[in-house]
Amino acid sequence: MTLTGIPVVGWGVIAFIGLLVFILLMKKGFKAGIGDKTIEVPGSDGEKQNVDSQGLMYIMSDNCRQIEQRKKERIDGIIPDLTYRLSDISSTSCLGLLVESILQARRRKNGFEKLITEKLFKDYVWDVSGEINGKVKKETAKVIECSKLPVQNCDADAVTEIVHRFTLDAVKACVDEYRDKSTMYSQYMPMYEILKDKNRVAFCKQKIEKHDERIAELETMIAKIEG
C-alpha cells in the first residue's frame, strides 16, 4: 500500500500514536545530542531523565520563567496587604479606591529593579505620592459637592508612608528574584561543565555575576532606606 492509499482514519491513528510517543519522551526524558553527551536530571514527574545541552537549556529557561512568575505574584500581593491602610488617607471609600488604582497602575509599569540608589528610591516615592495627593485633592472637591456627609481631606503623610512601604516591598521582591536566579544558574553551571558546553558555562557565569551585582546594589540601597 502506498502512502496515498492510507485512509483518513489510518492517518488519525498514526498521528495519535506519534503524539503519545512525544508526550512520553518529554515526560520521561530522552537521550540525544552532539556526540551523545547527556546528563541525568530529575524530570517533571520526579523520575530521572537524560538530556543533552539544549534540553538542559529548555529546563533552565522554564525554571527562569517560574522565578519571574513568583516575583510577579509577590508584587501583586503587596497592594492587598496595604488596603487596611487606605482609610488612613481618607475615610471616604471612593478616595481609597482611587489611591489603590494609582498604585495598581504603578505596579503594572514595574521598573522597581531600577531603583538602585537612595535618591532614585526617594524620587520615585515623591513622584507617586505627588500624583496621589494631586488626584485625591481634585476628587475630594468633587465628593464634597455631592456628599451630605463630611469628607476628610487627604492625609499627605499617610500617602507618603503607604507609597514608601509599597515601593520598598516591590524592590525586595526584585532582590528575591535576582537571588533565586543566581542560585539557579549556580546549580546549572556545573552540569554544563560536565557536558563540556563552554558557551553555556560562560553564559551561566555571566548571569550569576550580573544578578549578584544587582543584589548588592539593591541591598545597599535598602540598608540606607531602612537604616
Residue 92, phi-psi category: left (phi > 0), alpha (psi -120 to 50), beta (remainder): beta
Q: Which three cell numbers stand for residue 3?
A: 502512502
155 falls within a domain: yes
137 falls within a domain: yes
Question: How many domains does the chain contain in total?
Answer: 1
Q: Which three cell numbers stand for residue 41?
A: 536530571
161 falls within a domain: yes
Closest by CA to 136, choosing from 122, 150, 117, 156, is 156
88 falls within a domain: yes
In the block, residue with C-alpha cell 553564559: 203
122 falls within a domain: yes
Please write the tens of the pLDDT for every residue from 54-96.
Answer: 888 998 999 999 999 999 999 999 988 887 777 767 666 677 7
* Sequence-ordered alpha helix ranges (H) in the chain: 8-28, 53-76, 78-82, 86-89, 93-109, 118-146, 156-194, 198-226
189 falls within a domain: no
Please write the tens of the pLDDT for every residue from 106-154.
Answer: 998 889 999 999 999 999 999 999 998 888 888 777 765 555 555 566 6
For 134, the domain range is 72-177
196 falls within a domain: no
3-class DSSP string for 22-68: HHHHHHHCCCCCHHHCCEEEECCCCCEEEECHHHHHHHHHHHHHHHH
Higher pLDDT: 16 or 188? It is 188
